[in-house]
Structures are given as C-alpha cells and as structure tokens.
C-alpha cells in the first residue's frame, strides 16, 4: 500500500490551490459575460425575457446554498466534531497545519464548484 509523503501532500495541495485559482478566474470572467448579456437583454423592457428575470435570484440562492454545504462538509472532513482549536491541535500533532491547509483548499474547491458551474452554464445558455 502506497503512503503519501508529506512532500507529496504539499505538492498536491499546491496544485489543487492553482486549479482552484483557475476556476475562480473562469468564474469571474464568466460572471462579467453573464452580466453583460443580461444588461443587454434588459435594456429593452418590452422585450425583457421573463424566464431570465425569474432566474436571477433563485439561481444564486441555490448555488450559494450548495457552496456553503459543500465547504462545510469539506472543511470538517466529514467529521462534524473536527477540532476547532488549532493551537491545541498543533501541540498534539506536527502535521495539523498541513491537514488544515488541505481542508481549507478542499473547502474552497467545494465552495467554488457550484458557483462556477452555475455561472459557466449561464454563459453557455446566454451566448
């Protein structure tokens, strides 16, 4: 059985952080495209697409709800009793900071996934 070394974990965490940064950049660019497309649509009140108007708030509430649930699960590592006192945890295990870093990265990835998915789906639909 292969055991992942501390170095392997650090490298993996860094690659995951870079992957997330790319997703964030894609989300920001897609958000700008969606805002532009919707502003153009809404500039003519007589031709305003009601279906698009009805999506504005519910899609955000759903995406952010999924984002928060995913981030909470990822950060806790599936353990709702995960330690919250980082100082005490660090004193008991020298790799706790790496564990927390990995959890933070996982939580960030889990938070951005549904937001990225919704925004990029909007861009594809509005093109």
pLDDT digits (tens, 9 = 90+) for 44-78: 878 778 888 888 889 999 999 999 999 988 887 76
**Average pLDDT for 9-16:** 92
> Would you state the structure tokens that stand for residue 91, as one six-digit string?
């004193």
Stated as kind and residue range, the H or E segment containing 49 is none
- pTM comes to 0.79
Residue 41: its pLDDT value, please? Answer: 87
> Would you state the structure tokens that stand for residue 118, as one six-digit string?
């919704």
> Would you state the structure tokens that stand for residue 45, as one six-digit string?
């009140």
The C-alpha angle with vertex 20 and arms to 86 and 105, in degrees rounded to 5, equals 15
Give the residue, 99 or 83, on which the prediction is more confident.
99
- Tokens 């070394």, residue located: 5
**Average pLDDT for 98-103:** 84
């Amino acid at each position: 059985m292969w055991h992942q070394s501390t170095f392997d974990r650090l490298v993996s965490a860094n690659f995951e952080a870079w992957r997330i940064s790319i997703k964030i950049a894609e989300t920001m660019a897609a958000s700008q495209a969606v805002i532009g497309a919707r502003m153009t649509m809404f500039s003519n009140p007589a031709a305003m697409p009601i279906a698009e108007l009805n999506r504005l708030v519910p899609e955000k509430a759903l995406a952010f709800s999924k984002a928060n649930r995913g981030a909470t699960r990822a950060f806790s590592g599936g353990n709702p009793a995960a330690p919250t006192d980082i100082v005490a945890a660090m004193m008991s295990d020298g790799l706790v900071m790496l564990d927390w870093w990995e959890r933070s990265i996982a939580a960030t990835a889990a938070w951005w996934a549904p937001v990225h998915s919704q925004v990029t789906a909007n861009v594809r639909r509005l093109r």
